[in-house]
Structure 1
Amino acid sequence: MPSDLDPAPADALADGRIAIAQTGDIRQAWFARPTARYAHGVLGDAIEAGSLVVVTASGKVLEAILPVDQVFEDITPRIADLDGDGTNEVIAIRSSKDGGAAATIFGIVGTELKLRGAGSENGRPNRWLNIAGLVPHPDGGLTLYGVRTPHIGGRLFVLDFRNGKLSESNDIATDVSNHIIGSRELGMSATGNFGGRMELILPSQDRRRLRFPLSGRADIALPGAIDKAIALVDGRVLTATVDGTLIVVSP
């Protein structure tokens, strides 16, 4: 999520941002009701969010409040029309005290903001996941990719939201990562056209190679471990190493 987005309101999650959409029924989204009830700190502090707030195209504010055994272990929501029906969904990382993290999808049902679907949890508390990217679906809409336990093994999963139902496939790739434990940087992966193909680009587990699990393109070795966001600009991959060395990769 771009860091130049407007900060969320003062009573929202600390250093969270407002996700913005130009079209669709949901135009803004952010996390609110800061809480310390989930002791993990994977994002660098002990404060997570207890609710998700959206603003509709008509200006109405709606909020989905989690039960006390759950939090949004996330920083900024993602707004997208996943099923291609012209209305937006909001993607958020939700964690529970029993099962750890899951990718969740919220949307407007009637006049309320409700959970539309959730992927499987990681199976135990303090096991996190990070969203990796959204890839255009052949039949319209978008397919969601994420990395389970990016700090310990890194397993790629995929979620498709169609006709109000969610389907999931797990372990479609291993030895991947897109986050460093304790970091606030959630953008260490990218989707887009690279060398004439739609690619999902993310680091290997040691962050010393770029991997392309959708196409099977050969890994690209890097001059050092990266810890910065990955971006695709004019068909080239941009990122940087831990020591600040800029990396530009052309196909």
Structure 2
Amino acid sequence: MCHADALALLEIIDGCVRCKAEEEFRRLFWKLQGLFPFEHACAVLGRRDDRCGVIVEHFLNVSCGERFVREAGDYLQRSALSREHFTSYRLKFWSEARRRLGQPRELVSLAVDFGMRDGYTIGSGPLPAAPHGSMFCLSVPTVRRDERTETLLELVVPHLHFAFCRLFDGHRRDAGGVALSTVEKDILQLIMQGKSSWDMSVIIGISERTVNYHVYKVMEKLEAINRPQAVAVALRLGLIELS
């Protein structure tokens, strides 16, 4: 990854952590367009249901046509691609997924009519305190897979998922709802300094296994997907300070 990509990615991740309103969340996609070109985008919170396919809890139309959204909504809940997505959450390139899973001709024709010939579907599974997974759909102007685009999506989507859940899944956090122990705060400060689990075990005087347990508990409390995001959330909530 080049330096410019890394800086742009960090800016988007920071925006995900700070995001507090729907309009701010939409602007994250505009910034994402600065990293790689895509034409239309939408985001879904939902879960798989064995009886009716996919239950959509929240649908956010970022830049798709309203008519497409109205007509495609029913297909979204019943399509094989959606059902598989809300099981695996892995990145899929539309044309390859269609050949493998099959898609209703009406949906394929509708997407082509609106200029959504190919693209990516990717998402993340439920957070510990949020019952729904996410699906992000982005149409791209090329009909070939792009390794750089896929790498960037894999890196940024977990953070988009985190922001999406906080906004629309009823799990906004404030500092009053999170209590960290002294050891947990010390560990966050050390993570912020770039210390490894082994480094922290030596500094604090506990085993590396115990350090990893505390890290896990901190991430669970803050609903973070990795250590840097746990630090970012703790800073935003005022639970720790920049040293």
Question: Higher relative CO (CA 8 A, sep ≥ 6), structure 1 or 2?
Answer: 2
TM-score (norm 2): 0.28
Between Structure 1 and Structure 2, whose CA radius of gyration is higher? 2
